[in-house]
Chain A
Amino acid sequence: MPWSREDLAARAARELADGFYVNLGIGIPTLVANYIAPGMTVVLQSENGMLGMGPFPYEGDEDADLINAGKQTVTELPMSSYFSSADSFAMVRGGHIDLSVLGAMEVSESGDLANWMVPGKVVKGMGGAMDLVAGVKRVVVVMEHNSKDGAPKFKSKCELPLTGANVVDLLITDLAVFERASRREPFRLIEIAPGISRQELREKTPAHYLE
Chain B
Amino acid sequence: MPENPGSSVLPHGKVYPDAVSALRDILKDGMTLMAGGFGACGVPENLIAAIRELGVRNLTFVSNNAGLDQFGLGVLLQTRQIRKMISSYVGENKEFERQYLAGELELEFNPQGTLAERIRAGGAGIYGFYTRTGAGTLVAEGKETRVVDGETYVFEKGLVADISLVKAWKGDTEGNLIYRKTARNFNPPMATAGRVTVAEVEELVEVGALDPDQIHTPGIYVKRIVAGKNYQRLIEKRTVRPRAGSKDALVA
Contact = CB atoms under 8 A, between A and B. Distances in A.
B237 interface: yes
A130 interface: yes
A134 B181 contact: no
Given A49-B182, A73-B235, A73-B238, A86 B38 contact: no
B233 to A, nearest CB: 4
B117 to A, nearest CB: 6
Nearest to B123: A86
A71 B181 contact: no
A86 B152 CA distance: 22
Interface residues of B, number: 58
Contacts of A89: 112-114, 116-117
B147 interface: no
Interface residues of A, number: 56
A41 interface: no
Contact of B241 (A55, A71, A112, A161): A55
A67 to B, nearest CB: 5
A85 B88 CA distance: 12
B144 interface: no
A56 B234 contact: no
Interface centre among A46, A60, A164 (most CB of B within 10 A): A164
A85 B185 contact: yes
Interface in B38-71: 38-42, 64
A65 B113 contact: no
A46 B114 contact: no
B182 A46 contact: yes
Interface in B73-128: 87-91, 97, 101, 109, 111-117, 119-120
A201 interface: no
Contact of A125 (B91, B179, B187, B252): B91
Nearest to B187: A84
A58 to B, nearest CB: 5
B188 A84 contact: yes
B9 interface: no
Nearest to B216: A84
A209 interface: no
Contacts of A165: 135-137
B8 interface: no
B184 A71 contact: no
Nearest to B232: A64
A134 B233 CA distance: 34
Interface string B120-150: 1000000000011111111100000000000
